[in-house]
Chains A and B, each alone.
Chain A
């Protein structure tokens, strides 16, 4: 009787298991299958967002057409913060559970997050000049976003400087987790300090203070940025898996075999 029970308990679960995908070997083909949906969604949403942004949304009464920078500026700024939080989350999971895939995810997210932070700063400067009369001021919102960009750079530089990937992961995780305190500072900076930067036009708690077509275009671009970020991070995490586990049997079979993309029987 007890023997039957224990053999049942040991039998592999037939249903979906999150932990099944916690190893690089099983996650690799799954990531491959998710890639094309991400790229297609990103492309279609970008086209729709740009169309609405340039041809449907009207010229702004006070800012003229310079406001059209919003369709990249705001999604980029959002993504720079979301990606940082995701990176810090995977670092924390990696430190607690010691799972190598978590650290690979964090490492894969960093360059794309840095790009979004750079794009937010760049487009912000180009929007600031016509509306505020200056490309840059050292105010709370701009400075904290610049610090976010430096945190991404610091994380990547530190990881690149340490040869042993396990030590690099742990050292980088400290920067990522400690630096996460900067994200709420960026988000609330326009409330906490008097800044030149305008307050949020879109928030979770109040009705948006912008025209519906402008909002629609911006949200489409934001969704496109999500899809692109997931796609880019998945490609990078697959490259990192191959690089780090290159002497493992599963990587050799995968690369030298035909089922590389996980489309066929992986």
Chain B
């Protein structure tokens, strides 16, 4: 085990800022990408559903007239 205590761990031998800024920003960027991906997928599916509904309404109108 490398660390005597939790505070030793967070201090990273005096390099805490550099190490945690590296890991923190990387984690944040990846989390951002995952959220963006899931939103993009939802938006794409919603668009297709909207188009399909509009087409159905259009077809019903034409059928009724």
Contacts and interface: CB of A to CB of B under 8 A. Distances in A.
B40 A239 contact: yes
A246 B49 CA distance: 9
Contacts of B57: none
B29 interface: yes
Interface string A83-127: 000000000000000000000000000011001001100110011
- Judged by DSSP, the binding face of B is helix
A127 B2 contact: no
Contact of A65 (B13, B25, B30, B48): B13
Contacts of B3: 55
B12 A255 contact: no
A146 interface: no
B33 interface: yes
Interface string B23-60: 10110011001100110110011011101100000000
A243 B26 contact: no
Interface stretch (A12-20, A68-76, A177-185, A188-196): A68-76
B13 A127 contact: no
A252 interface: yes
Interface string A31-55: 0000000000000000000000011
B19 A65 contact: yes
B44 to A, nearest CB: 4
B44 A127 contact: no
A238 B29 contact: no
A156 interface: no
A239 B33 CA distance: 14
7 contacts: A55-B1, A65-B15, A68-B15, A76-B26, A122-B22, A246-B47, A255-B49
Interface of A: 54-55, 57-59, 64-66, 68-69, 72-73, 76, 111-112, 115, 118-119, 122-123, 126-127, 129-130, 228, 232, 235-236, 238-239, 242-243, 246-247, 251-252, 255-256, 260
Given A236-B40, A247-B51, 20 more contacts: A54-B9, A55-B2, A64-B14, A65-B12, A68-B12, A68-B15, A122-B22, A126-B21, A126-B22, A129-B18, A130-B15, A130-B18, A239-B37, A239-B40, A242-B48, A243-B44, A243-B47, A252-B48, A255-B49, A255-B52
